[in-house]
Amino acid sequence: LSYGDLIRRAIARDEFSVNYQPLFNLETNRYSGAEVLMRWQLPDGRWAKPDRFISAAESEGMIVPLTRHLLMLISRDVRHWHVPPGFHLGINVAAEHLQHPDFVQDIRGFSAQLAAKKLNITLELTERSLISDGDDVVKKLHQLRAEGIHIAIDDFGTGHCALSYLQTFPLDYLKVDRGFVNAIECAGDEAPILDAIINLSQKLRLKIVAEGVETPIQLDYLKKRGVIHIQGYLFAHPMTSSALMAWLRSKN
């Protein structure tokens, strides 16, 4: 069996599940959303590595069916959620899905299923996915934004991309890659690239999310520079849907 066949069989056997990593908002001092992260538990109980099976799904033409399956799994979870209106849900979208003719319809259908919860759905795109078919993608993103979907650039700063795309595409958030946050190791450290990204986001009126925040020193650095949205192990690890609900009940 090819990796693609294994993924197809695993979808049929319901072996995929979803984890949610809470995002903390320093303005409200509350958890204000979560990023969706896909998980695959093999029949022998081991967990497949997400970066491995996701890149395999991409190269074997399975990322679109897998992401559609993921959207179904999320809907199944969210039905049991009690969250305030505007709670953020970040979903990673692969380049190939963005280019797919049914992309807008897939997201629209998903959003319609969850409409009652009034979530703030944010699609996390990589810089790489914006390179090809630019005009077509711009059109799709405008359509979705007109329907209340938000757009984030994931792993910002790692994409070998000309920055001009920041003015071409309709965007809401930059998620600064955790590598730039990791540059802050000790009190007194400077992180010039992180500072530049924060300044850039302010000039462009984009909101910024800091990823991979692991230490109080990093948190303090970000706080001092006005970063509001924080994601990282310092606050919360990825967790199951029911653990997320328990987390929000006890922390918010």
Q: Are 212 and 181 in contact (CB under 8 A)?
A: yes
Of 94 and 197, CB closest to ligand G? 94
Does 124 bind Mn ion (CB under 5 A)? Our answer is yes
Residues forming a β-bridge with 41: 47
Q: How far is the CB of 199 from Na ion (least distance, A)?
A: 20
CB atoms within 10 A of CB 128: 15
Residue nearest to Na ion (CB): 155
Q: How far is the CB of 57 from ligand G (least distance, A)?
A: 8
The strand ranges marked E within 103-247 are 120-126, 150-156, 173-176, 207-210, 229-230
Count Cα atoms within 13 angstroms, Cβ side, for 241. Answer: 16
Element of type H or E holding 227: none
Partner whose binding site includes residue 226, from Mn ion, ligand G, Na ion, none (CB under 5 to 8 Å by kind): none
127 binds Mn ion (CB under 5 A): no
23, containing H or E segment = strand 16-25
**Partner from Mn ion, ligand G, Na ion, none binding residue 251, C-beta < 5-8 Å depending on class:** ligand G
Amino acid at 126: T
How near is the Cβ of 152 to Mn ion at its closest, in Å? 8
Binding site for ligand G (CB under 6 A): 21, 36-38, 50-51, 54, 70, 92, 94, 154-155, 178, 211-214, 216, 219, 231-235, 238, 251
234 binds, among Na ion, ligand G, Mn ion, none (CB under 5 to 8 A by kind): ligand G
Distance (Å) of CA 248 to CA 1, 60, 82, 159, 173: 42, 37, 9, 33, 23
Q: What is the CA radius of gyration of the chain?
A: 18
Of the chain, the end-to-end C-alpha distance in Å amounts to 46
Q: Which of 154, 184, 209, 244 touches Mn ion (CB under 5 A)? A: 154
CB of 45 to Na ion, least distance (A): 28
Binding mask of the shown chain, residues 58 to 97, with x at each position contacting Mn ion by CB under 5 A: ----------------------------------x-----
Angstrom distances, CA of residue 115 to CA of 72, 76, 90: 14, 13, 16
Least distance from ligand G to the Cβ atom of residue 238, Å: 5
Residues that bind Na ion (CB under 5 A): 154-155, 211
Smallest distance, ligand G to C-beta of residue 63, A: 6
Letter for the amino acid at 125? Answer: L
SS3 state of residue 39: strand
CB of 70 vs ligand G, minimal distance in Å: 5
177 near Mn ion, rule: CB under 5 A: no
Which residues here bind Mn ion, judged by CB under 5 A?
A: 92, 124, 154
